[in-house]
Structure 1
Amino acid sequence: MPLSVPKSVNRDMSFTEGQLKALFKEHDANGDGRLSKEEIKKAFQQLGSRFPGWRVRRSLHHADSNGDGSIGLDELDELVKYVGKFGYSIQ
Structure 2
Amino acid sequence: MAIRNQMATRSLDGDMTVDEFKEWLRRFDVNHDGRINREELRCAMRTIRTRFSGYKSKRGIDYADANGDGCIDDSEVDGLIDYAQKSLGLRIVAY
1:11 to partner: Cα distance: 4.9
Q: For 1:89, which of 88, 91, 95 is the aligned residue? A: 91
Identity of aligned residues (%): 31
Q: Check the 8 A contact 1:28/1:34 in 2, yes or no.
A: yes
Structure 1 segment 2-81 matched on structure 2, within 5 A: 4-5=4-5, 7-12=7-12, 13-81=14-82
With the length of structure 1 as denominator, give the TM-score of the two structures: 0.84
Q: Give the number of equivalent residue pairs.
A: 89
Q: Which runs of 5+ in 1 are unaligned?
A: none
RMSD, matched Cα: 1.8
Go from structure 1 to structure 2 and tell me whether the alpha carbon gap of 1:85 and 1:44 turns closer, same or farther (over 3 Å shift): same
Misfit runs of 4+, over 2 Å: 3-6
With the length of structure 2 as denominator, give the TM-score of the two structures: 0.80
Asked which structure has the greater RCO (Cα within 8 Å, sep 6+), the reply is 1
Q: Check the 8 A contact 2:29/2:35 in 1, yes or no.
A: yes
